[in-house]
Structure 1
Amino acid sequence: MRIAINGMGRIGRLLFRRLLHQPGVELVAVNDIMPVDNLVYLLKYDSLYGPFTEPLSLEGNTIVAGGRQVKAYQASDPGMLNWAALGVDVVLECSGKFTSREGASRHLQAGAKKVLLSTTGAPEIPLMIYGFNQHLLHAGIDIVSPGGCMTNCTTHILYLLQSIGIESAHFNILHSYTSRQELVDTSHSQFRRGRAAAESIIPVEVDLVQSLERIFPLKGKLAALSIRVPVTNGALVDCTLQMAEDVTVEQINHLFHTASENSYRQILAYTEDQLVSADFKGNTHSVIIDGSLTSVVGRQLKLIAWFDNEYGYTSRMLDWLAYWKPLM
């Protein structure tokens, strides 16, 4: 399977690193409007995951990484790229700019066979969460949204708790700051996003509820808020759920612990260790339930889950490539 990445931000660059060692795939090209020498520098030195562990250099418009050659382009419009000539099977659309059917189709028009977004995408694009409804994929689908990191975490929580019954759920996501915020106070259409990200706890608007309502019959029963905190990686999901029947801490922890050891073990993990966000850096799971923090008052359940918003999410994108390959 021949892969190209469009958009070399945090997710694109982490995918670059991981795809080089992914069996059954070959990273053949990347595209980003930044100067290529700057891209090579950012690939070589990463503040979160450390320096690139193999030789990495730029030869003309080709990035040479550990002996592997990856073409580098700087097209602002994917339609200007010749994915057909490179035999690209799947484009990982990580720019955040081509998330509509029309936009993502620019890659198809350039010759790619399929497009996998790195976000939820527009309503006309199928929303498929790996481990939940990936079985809906068929050969005729050419653009897929795998949801975002928060959607991948909360989907599995809702699905497992639906076996008991949910009256309502509120998700408060304490999330590391991102490139969509500012490092010093400045203007922004969402005023709070314009405040210095490393200096404050900052509430921001997220579209998590709209995403979850697309795949669960829970319209009007969900609410969500993201609180950006001054750390560079990791997230904690504080879930408050009103259950349809009485539950116990032991019952809930058993449910998630059992799931983590069986069909969900690739996606969901369970711990009762006294951990903090830094302990989950590089964790491949989309959701790690912290059983030590589960609590119940009446029928109100408090559930705490962790995830690495970059590594966990890219792990699901790699899962999608493996799942999609037989349908090519």
Structure 2
Amino acid sequence: MMRIAINGMGRIGRLLFRRLIDNKDLELVAVNDIMDTDNLAYLLKYDSVYGTFAGTITRKPGAIVANGKEIKAFQQEKPAALPWKDLKVDVVLECSGNFSSRAAAEQHLKAGARKVLLSTTGSADIPLLVYGFNQHALTKEETIISPGGCMTNCSTHILYILNAIGIKSVQCNILHSYTSRQELVDAPHKQFRRGRAAAEAIIPVEIDLQHSLERLLPALKDKIASVSTRVPVANGAMADFTIQLQQETSRQEINRLFSTAAENDYKGIIEYTEDQLVSLDIKGNTHSCVIDGSLTTVVGNHVKLIAWFDNEYGFTTRMIDWLSLM
């Protein structure tokens, strides 16, 4: 059984803990975060988005006990000092966001882990592999893997499928729940808008999504622009794509393209619906994106496409997929 450790117990790390604790094929053996372990146990048990943990979580010295399973808990700032070798850790899920360069992530390897799976897009020298798109490019020799982020996992499949028709340009706006990198009340920030109160305003923020998409889809280089608009909800996202195609199309053709993909090659990755969803309906959805065919519009060769995704649950599903593949 593959032995897993999690470094960084923020939103993604804690959700992965919940989802891995009873996994029969993957054994969670340790977590590391600089927060107080009593506080960590509390946050694992009580979650404002996904509710109270269905099982039991208790605290003992140096460990979290969940559903009777003892998980080692460390508070080490330097990954190289963690006992991954002694614990025979196969894969570290690097979820802190602080060790996304190759040199930084390699600290886990020096500590004795066999491989590292990031929870974000890493530096340019780390392979960017999106599950359902290019996971076949993974080699046994690669020790550090970036699975992209939730926005990349939503967007890549959509643009790849549409580029079968031919894309001239893409404008992408990800309407996204607020995140821990924003502020609860107005505060200084190098991106001024990120410093505004997240629960009180609709806030456009700068993102680097287009750079990730250009790495994955080089044929679209210099054809993509992106922005994220943070909205006052705690979970869920709606991706709004405005796409100029090489030729005229129709609403029916676009919807048929994605409904077919969802039923066949992209089953489990893309979902297609014409139900009248709102963001709350997507909570707990395991797909990378849910195409909302009821909102597809076409004028000549201009397409407006809307896709929903749970920015936490969908993405952690892909990370678990990666573990299964590895």
**What TM-score, normalized to structure 2?**
0.99
Q: Equivalent residue of 2:243, what SS?
A: strand
Counterpart CA distance in 1 for 2:212 and 2:122 is: 9
Match of 2:288 in 1: 286
Q: Equivalent residue of 2:197, what SS?
A: coil
Match of 1:113 in 2: 114
Counterpart CA distance in 1 for 2:165 and 2:24 is: 39
**What TM-score, normalized to structure 1?**
0.98
2:230 to 228, 236, 250: 228
1:259 to 258, 261, 264: 261
Counterpart CA distance in 1 for 2:262 and 2:187 is: 43
Match of 2:169 in 1: 168
Match of 1:322 in 2: 324
Structure 1, residues 211-239: CA drift from partner, whole Å, max 9, x if none? Answer: 01111121110000000000000000000
Tell me if the contact between 2:250 and 2:300 (Cα under 8 Å) persists in the aligned partners: no
Q: Which amino acid aligns with 1:153?
A: C
Q: Which amino acid aligns with 1:274?
A: Q
Q: CA deviation at 1:145?
A: 0.2
Q: Equivalent residue of 1:316, what SS?
A: helix
Q: Equivalent residue of 1:86, what SS?
A: coil
Match of 1:15 in 2: 16
Does residue 179 of structure 1 match 2:175? no
Q: CA deviation at 1:314?
A: 0.2
Q: Equivalent residue of 1:265, what SS?
A: coil
Counterpart CA distance in 1 for 2:44 and 2:254 is: 41
Q: Which amino acid aligns with 2:81?
A: M
Q: Which amino acid aligns with 1:315?
A: T
Task: Give ranges in structure 2 of 5+ residues lacking alignment.
Answer: none
Match of 1:135 in 2: 136
Task: Give ranges in structure 1 of 5+ residues lacking alignment.
Answer: none
Structure 1, residues 130-181: CA drift from partner, whole Å, max 9, x if none? Answer: 0000000011000000000000000000111111111111100000000000
Q: Equivalent residue of 1:12, what SS?
A: helix
Q: CA deviation at 1:103?
A: 0.3
Match of 2:31 in 1: 30
Counterpart CA distance in 2 for 1:67 and 1:302 is: 49
Counterpart CA distance in 1 for 2:66 and 2:182 is: 31
- Say which is worse superposed, 52-61 or 305-314, in terms of deviation: 52-61
2:278 to 276, 279, 294: 276
Q: Which amino acid aligns with 1:129?
A: V
Match of 2:76 in 1: 75
Counterpart CA distance in 2 for 1:127 and 1:93 is: 15
Percent of matched pairs sharing the same residue: 65
Match of 1:99 in 2: 100
Counterpart CA distance in 2 for 1:289 and 1:164 is: 18
Q: CA deviation at 1:23?
A: 2.6
Counterpart CA distance in 2 for 1:186 and 1:246 is: 47
Q: CA deviation at 1:281?
A: 0.2
Tell me if the contact between 2:64 and 2:73 (Cα under 8 Å) persists in the aligned partners: yes
Counterpart CA distance in 2 for 1:241 and 1:170 is: 6
Match of 1:246 in 2: 248
Counterpart CA distance in 2 for 1:78 and 1:242 is: 46
Q: Which amino acid aligns with 1:96?
A: G
Q: CA deviation at 1:190?
A: 0.9
Q: CA deviation at 1:82?
A: 1.2
Q: Which amino acid aligns with 1:279?
A: D
RMSD, aligned CA? 0.5
Counterpart CA distance in 1 for 2:190 and 2:78 is: 25
Match of 2:315 in 1: 313
Q: CA deviation at 1:20?
A: 1.1
- Say which is worse superposed, 53-62 or 299-308, in terms of deviation: 53-62
Give the alignment of 1:175-214 within 5 angstroms.
Answer: 175-214=176-215
Counterpart CA distance in 2 for 1:102 and 1:272 is: 45
Structure 1, residues 232-271: CA drift from partner, whole Å, max 9, x if none? Answer: 0000000000001111100000010011111211110000
